Structure 1
Amino acid sequence: MSYTPPTASAGQPLVRIEALHKSFGGIEVLKGIDLSVMPGQKVSLIGPSGSGKTTLLRCINYLEEPTAGDIYVDNQLMGQRQVGGRRVPLRDAELARMRGSIGMVFQRFNLFAHLTVLQNIMLGPLKVQGRQAAGVAEQARALLAKVGLHGKEQAYPDQLSGGQQQRVAIARALAMKPKLMLFDEATSALDPELVGEVLGVMHQLAEEGMTMIIVTHEMRFAEQVSDQVVFMADGRIVEQGSPSQVFRDSQVERTRAFLRAVQER
Structure 2
Amino acid sequence: MSRTIVLTGASDGIGAAAARRLAGDGHHVVLVGRSAAKTEAVAAELDAPFFLADFAELAQVRRLAADLLAAHPRIDVLANNAGGIMGERELTVDGHEKTFQVNHLAPFLLTELLLPALVSGRATVIQTASRAAQLFSRFDVDDLQNAHRYAAHRAYGNAKLANILFTQELQRRYGDQGLSAVAFHPGVVGTSFAGETNHVLRYLYRGPLRRLFTVSPDKGADQLVRFAEGTPGSTFQPGAYYEGHRIASGVSREATDPRVADELWERSAAMV
Calculate the TM-score normalised by the size of structure 2: 0.34
| Structure 1 or 2: more strand by fraction | 1
Greater relative CO (CA pairs within 8 A, separation 6+): 1
Calculate the TM-score normalised by the size of structure 1: 0.35
Say which one has the larger Rg.
1
| Structure 1 or 2: more helix by fraction | 2
